[in-house]
Amino acid sequence: MLRSRIIPCLLVHNKGLVKTVNFKDPKYVGDPINAVKIFNEKEVDELIVLDIDATVEKRGPNFQMIKNLATECRMPLCYGGGVTSPEQAKKIIKLGAEKVALSSAAIENPELVKSIGEEVGVQSVVIIIDVKKKGFFGKYEVFTHNGKKSTGLNPIDFAEEMEAIGVGEIVINSIDQEGTMKGYDLKLFESIRKKTSVPLTIMGGAGSADHIKEALNKFGIIGAAAGSLFVFKGKYRAVLIQYLNKAQLFTQK
């Protein structure tokens, strides 16, 4: 039976766990392995780990790190960062991850998505679409390389293209909301949901259980991902790895 998932998203920078705001000013928040151990105890639904250095540095995945994370992780693990070939994706799955996430590589070579799907199974292919408002009218556009590279792509069109090629899941991330803890960009997510039927995960801006609950009530069965919500506590953003009481979230509208 399908159900909504509450998903911590961990960003790895210089081999440490960090959190950013609008993809800027990474703040060190600890060791990735220690975070995974805590999330294990809290019975997290799923975990997304993104190496935000790999693509920018034009290097492949850190397989040793992935192996260490997957060995420790007791929940489904989705890894993204530097994946540019079916062989890399296959190795990541063999190391114990359930899903492989692509971003800029899928934009530069859409056929790669199909090739990886044939190698590891479509259900294991995740596309992350980082979106930012651009220009006077605030038009949504897809960005890559940690929000620094404009692609000129409309996120709705790109999501439809990825669904047509065949993917297991699409993650929509709002760069404008990322790390602000002010709530999801529900308008952005709704525009994607109306045009696609592939499993959707939303990310960027969640700062409270109410933000998660609002999204679940509005969109039904989705993935609700967050970073700051699960690593910070209080208005001074003290570092504290935590999770939510899921029983309080899954209520009727």
Q: Which two tokens stand for residue 68?
A: 């260490």
The answer to whether the CB of 52 falls within 8 A of the CB of 81 is: yes
- Asked if 130 is an active-site residue, the reply is yes
What is the spatial distance between Cα 225 and Cα 179, in angstroms, rounded to a whole number? 12
State the CB neighbour count (10 A cutoff) for residue 238.
9
What is the spatial distance between Cα 107 and Cα 147, in angstroms, rounded to a whole number? 14
Among residues 45, 51, 53, 130, the one annotated as catalytic is: 130
- The CA R_g of the chain, rounded to the nearest whole Å, is 17
What's the sign of the alpha-carbon dihedral 200, 188, 247, 75?
positive
What is the spatial distance between Cα 240 and Cα 233, in angstroms, rounded to a whole number? 6
What is the spatial distance between Cα 209 and Cα 50, in angstroms, rounded to a whole number? 23
Across the chain, the runs of DSSP E, i.e. the strands, are: 5-13, 16-21, 24-30, 47-51, 77-80, 99-102, 125-134, 139-144, 149-150, 169-174, 200-203, 223-226, 232-233, 238-239
Query: Catalytic amino acids?
Result: 130
